[in-house]
A and B are shown apart, each in its own frame.
Chain A
Amino acid sequence: MQREEKQLDSALEAIIMRVNDLKTAIAAMIFKIEHEYETLNWPNFLDNFALISGHLTSLSKILAHDKAPNLRNLTVLPLRLSPEKDEELLRLTEGRIPTFAHDLVPDYLRTKLEPQAEQKMMQLEAKAANVNIETSHKQLTQYTKVIGHVWDIANKAREEWESEAGARATQAQTSSAADTHALLAAVGMGKGLKSDSIQMVQSGVNSVNNGMMVGRPGNQQQTPGQGPMGNPQMGQMNKAPSAIKTNIKAASQIHPYR
């Protein structure tokens, strides 16, 4: 018998603790709504909800525990009612209930729902009981369908949003470092701007030299003599036979490895 009482005490203590947690969480949220409604943002507000739902879960976990006493089987009996102001009670209830009198006790010790709510519940239950199975099934499928649609829409929106965000990350290039350098070299040092004729001659020589280098990697000695004289036509003429030469060379190079 004593052991049971002890168990009940500890269980009640745990429950009261959880309920207090829940109460402070709700109070904090009310405080936030009342005082920080100007700066409050949704994520913050939802965090509060998450906190409250966490407390509710832990409370229901305690209540559902095997070792928890079945509170339904216990009765609270008001032994003495008094219209006098009770300071102790006022302190315990944080100033909410000043007297333990007959007009307040039925409300506070009530274990059922409010009469109005109770009536409404009963009506709804009666209505639910009256609906036949087929129509309820129909409604159920319809409901699932609607939910499915909403789910699809939400998913689609998310996909679009994500792809858009992705596109923004890999946005088309709007500037190029190479162009910046080209422009600054031109403006700052005249690169590519200095007298056109010189540029043309230089690039012409370069192309001839390049052609030769590609053509005959081996005999470079001949080229310096021809380079400066070389006009584009000569470059062209040199290119053709040299290409053949390369082919022959390449073929002969392959042999030793066979």
Chain B
Amino acid sequence: MTAPISTAMDSLSAALKSNIIPNQEYLLQGSVLDTSVEVLLHRLRGLCDNVDTGPEPFYDHEMCFSIRRGSPQEQPLLLRVRRALDAIHSDMPWQLRYIGQPELGDKSRPTVVRSSIDIATSNTVVEFLTELGCKLDFEYVTRGYMFRKGRMKITVSKIFKVNQGKVPEGVPEMISQSYLVELSVLAPSGQDAIAEDMRIFAEQLRPLVQLEKIDYKRLVH
């Protein structure tokens, strides 16, 4: 009788306190030219865990929503919705994701760290967000391959433009003549050792791809 009734909120905050929720994303990014992507895929096939099954293809649509918090000067909150477009993954739930500001840290830190929280949702999440007052900021389609190496995830993908919420048929317009390459690990906060593993892995892909800590602030101009 005296035992407190535990709520979902309580167990969530308890989990947060004991650092078991993987809410930190360790990230390195780079790109590879279309002409060299085959070489990179080949190398990844050899380096990564899924040797027997081959790389996992994906074809996703990502929408980025923003909502103002208070004053207009403040940075709007960004939420990303992602869904699979290919037939194999059509029964997969949609994904809602929050990504925080990336922390670059100093030179001793091998990767960017940013907070990342994601959750599976139903396909009505877009309506839900719109009702909340979120505005569709931009969207794109990403198509490529995913590899795994231990806890590390490596994606090699092409980014395409999306027109008026519809994925253009035929040859869609793509961003640059390169594939985006991302190396990431989701981990609970404080597990900095994984970053060193990532640095070593990134080293193995040089000089084919330069996986680096990219400063987003430098991209705004």
Contacts and interface: CB of A to CB of B under 8 A. Distances in A.
Interface residues of B, number: 35
A193 B140 contact: yes
A110 interface: no
Contacts of A178: 176
Nearest to B31: A180
B30 to A, nearest CB: 6
B216 A171 contact: no
A193 B139 contact: yes
A136 to B, nearest CB: 57
A219 to B, nearest CB: 30
Interface residues of A, number: 26
B178 A180 contact: yes
B32 A194 contact: no
Contact of B161 (A171, A174, A177, A196): A196
A2 interface: no
A186 B139 CA distance: 9
Nearest to A174: B36
B162 to A, nearest CB: 7
A220 B219 CA distance: 31
Contacts of A176: 31, 33, 178
Interface in A170-209: 171-196
A174 B208 contact: yes
A185 to B, nearest CB: 4
B30 A175 contact: yes
A178 B210 CA distance: 12
Interface of A: 171-196
Interface of B: 29-33, 35-36, 39-40, 62, 64, 137-140, 142, 159, 161-164, 175-178, 180, 207-210, 212, 214, 216, 219-220
What 4 pairs between A and B have smallest CB-CB spacing?
Answer: A190-B138, A179-B178, A174-B36, A180-B31
